[in-house]
Amino acid sequence: MKTWIFTGICDKSDMLLYMCKILATGHKRVLLVDGAVDAKYKHCISVMHPQLPVKEFSGFDVATGFDNYQALVEYLEAMEEKTYDYIVMDVEKSDFLNKHEWDTADAHVWVSGFEVTGLRKSMALLDDLRAARTDDPLPPFYRVYVQVIDDLTDEAYIEGYMEDSRIQWLGPPVKMPWDELFFALKIKNEHAGRLSIKSLSRQYKRSLSELIRMLTEMEQRHIRRALRQAGRRHA
């Protein structure tokens, strides 16, 4: 089982939903964990059984409504839930994970948008995470930049906020492009309660593939095949 932590205050829900669908289409058992500040995932998936904290959606499971990760683990053990190949966590609350859970995760990904409010809240989250660690440094992070608009957004803007973060970065950032068609697909999926990815731009799909390749041992051809299969499924 691999555990990935995606953190930073920005809307990364679409990216993580798409990624989980591709992994699930590639015959992986995937759990997406909602540790976001506004519990956004229960609003962007079709909730057929709102009383269930772990729900199946588009071929993978989504866990919502847990105060922390330990509460989720206890729930899964009590319900004798299946084991997962990947646990993908969207963490925006400093107390959602304890230090051991942070340090034992298989990958840590810092996700940044370009909005000033989100960047400032992300720095406050980073300060809270450091305060809980005394002298121990945070683990190294991969980077993802979301809502990137060609010729209008400059990654140096984000890096200006993070230059004093004292975080060790693993390689260059993955850039997730954004345009009006992407936003239209997001709205369409939310209203339909499904997860269609066929209309995603070729550039966005390349970035998704790059992100999955960076975090997994999947070969590029297997990722491409899973992405094509996910595009044919509209659940």
Residue ranges of domains in the chain: 2-232
Q: What is the pLDDT of residue 151?
A: 59
Nearest residue to 174 via CA among 9, 19, 38, 37: 19
Strand order in the sheet with 60-63: 54-57, 60-63, 30-35, 86-91, 2-7, 107-112, 142-148, 174-177
The rounded distance, in Å, linking the Cα atoms of 63 and 76 is 10
**What does the pLDDT look like over 126-152, one tens digit per residue?**
989 988 887 788 899 999 999 888 756
CATH number of 2-232: 3.40.50.300
Report how far residue 98's alpha carbon sits from residue 135's, in angstroms, rounded to the nearest whole number: 16
| Whether the predicted pLDDT of 170 surpasses 60 | yes
- Under DSSP, the state recorded for 61 is E
DSSP E strands in 92-160: the ranges are 107-112, 142-148
Tell me, what's the pLDDT at 137?
87
Report d(CA 12, CA 88) in Å as an integer: 12
Tokens of 60: 């993978």
Q: What is the pTM of this model?
A: 0.92
Tokens describing residue 222: 């297997």
Phi then psi for residue 214, to 5 deg, are: -65, -35
Task: Report d(CA 84, CA 103) in Å as an integer.
Answer: 19
Report the pLDDT value the prediction gives residue 211, as an integer from 0 to 100: 96
